[in-house]
Amino acid sequence: MNEPLPTEAVATPTVTAGPPIDSSSAFDHVPIATPDAREARRAEIEAKQELIGNLLTDAGADGLLMLDPANVAWLCGAALHQGVTDSGEWPALFLVPTQRWLVAGNADSQRVFDAHLDGLGFQLKEWQWHGGREKLLSELCVNRRMASDRLVADCVPLGPALRRLRCLLTEAERGRLRDLGADVVHAVEAVGRSFAAGQTEAETAGQVAHRLLRRGVTPVAIGVAADGRAGRHRRPGVTDTVVRHNCVVVATGCRNGLHASTARTVCLGPKGPTLRRQFDAATRVMAAQVAASRPGLPLTTALDAGRRTATATGFEHAWRDLAPGHVTGWQPVERSFGPVVAFNFETGWPIVWQAAVGEALCVDTFVVTGDVSVSVTPVEVWPMKRIHVHGQVLDLPDILVRD
C-alpha cells in the first residue's frame, strides 16, 4: 500500500474541430410516458415507500413529512421544487405506510401532477396562497406522532436515514444517470469542438447552458477557465476573460432530480509541454482514485492512492489544492470527501472524482459497481487517454487540440 499505483497511458489521435452540432431536435430522445413506463415508475415509488414504512415502524411514527427537495426528488423521480423561487412554497410530501400525498400550493399543484405525478398513486393536499404551507403542515401533524426529514418541532428526525437510502441508486436510476451524463458531456464537448478564439468565458458558458436546456437538463454549475486561469482559481466560475489559447469547461447538470458533472480541456493550436505534463498527472491521479473506489473499500484507500500518485508524478502538493471528489446523486454534493471522513464505498453510489494539477482540471462522474467504478460521463467525440491501474483499464478524456 506504500507504493504508488502503476499507470500507463496511451492517448488516442487528436480530434479535429467539426461544425457546430444542430440541437434543434434535442428533445427527441426524451421517452414518452407510456402506460408500461408509468407502471414501472409507480412500482419504484411503492418500493421506496415500503422502505419508508419500515423506517416509520422502527421510529414509532405514524407518518412522514418529507420537506427536503432531495428526498422529494428521490421518491418522485423529479425535482418538484424547480421553478418555485420561494423555498417556503416548495412542494412537499406527506406519507403514511400505505398512502402518499403531494402537499403543494394551488399555483403549482396542477403543473406538478401534469408534468410528473399523474398516474403514480399520489393524492393531493393543497394550500391556498393566502393560507401558506406552514399552516397546512401543522394541521397534518395534529393527533399524529410524525417524523420529518428536517428538524421540525415534535417530529422524529429521519433525515440521515433517508440520505443513506437515497445515496444507493437503483438500476433504473443508474440508467437515468447515464442518459443525463451523456447529455452533459454532449453539451460540453459540442461547445469545445466549435467555439472560436476571441469569444469570452461568459459566451462559452452561455453556449453550454443553451445546449443543456435544449436537452431538458437544468444547469446547476458551469465553469469556464481561459488560458490557465484554472491554475489560479480552482473553482473557476465564469468571467468576461477572452479565450485565446486554451480553455477548461466544467459543468454540472440536473434532470429528474439527479446530477452529473464533467470537464473537458481544449487547446486552440499545439498544447504546451507544461500543460501536457500537468494534464497527464491529473488524469493519473483521478484514475488512481477511481480504481480504488470499490465496494467495501474505505474512502481513505482512494485518497491515499491519489496522493501517492500525485507524488510519483512530481506534484506531491497538488492534492492539497482541491477536494478529490464527493458522492453526488439527488444533490450536487451528497457527501463530501475529506481526510477525517470515514466510510466504505457501496455498490450503487454515484461519485464525482476530480483532480487539479497546475492549470489542468479533470472532473467526471462514476457509479460504484461490483468490479470497477463505471463512468457515466464517457467521451462522445473527444480524444481519450487509456490508463492501466492495478489490472483495471480506464478511458479518460484527453486534451482536444484544435487546428
CATH number of 108's domain: 3.40.350.10
Q: Are residue 218 and residue 247 in the same domain, yes or no?
A: yes
Q: Are residue 174 and residue 56 in the same domain, yes or no?
A: no
pLDDT averaged over the chain?
A: 90
- pLDDT band per the 50, 70, 90 thresholds, residue 287: very high
Residue 390: pLDDT above 90? Answer: no
pTM of the model as a whole: 0.89
Q: Is residue 195 situated within a structural domain?
A: yes
| Apex 277 CA angle, 271 and 283, nearest 5 | 105
In angstroms, the CA 362 to CA 357 distance is 9
CATH number of 185's domain: 3.90.230.10
Can you list the alpha helix ranges (DSSP code H) found in 215-298? 273-291
Q: Are residue 194 and residue 159 in the same domain, yes or no?
A: no
Residue 343: pLDDT above 60? Answer: yes
Residue after which a domain boundary falls, among 105, 135, 166? 166
Q: Are residue 83 and residue 181 in the same domain, yes or no?
A: no
- pLDDT band per the 50, 70, 90 thresholds, residue 22: very low
Q: Are residue 74 and residue 206 in the same domain, yes or no?
A: no
- pLDDT band per the 50, 70, 90 thresholds, residue 33: low
CB 253 within 8 A of CB 219: yes
Q: What is the DSSP string of 7-66?
A: --EEEPPPPPP-PPPP-TTGGGGSPP--HHHHHHHHHHHHHHHHHHHHHHHHHT-SEEEE
Q: Are residue 70 and residue 137 in the same domain, yes or no?
A: yes
Reported as half-sphere exposure (CB side, CA atoms, 13 A), residue 346 has a value of: 13
CA 159 to chain centre: 20
State how many domains the chain has.
2
Domain that holds residue 233: 9-16+169-402
Residue 7: pLDDT above 70? Answer: no
Residue 304: pLDDT above 80? Answer: yes
Q: Are residue 179 and residue 272 in the same domain, yes or no?
A: yes
In angstroms, the CA 229 to CA 68 distance is 36
Beta pairing, strands 246-255 & 218-226: antiparallel
pLDDT digits (tens, 9 = 90+) for 169-187: 999 999 999 999 999 999 9
Residue after which a domain boundary falls, among 166, 188, 215? 166
Q: Is residue 83 situated within a structural domain?
A: yes
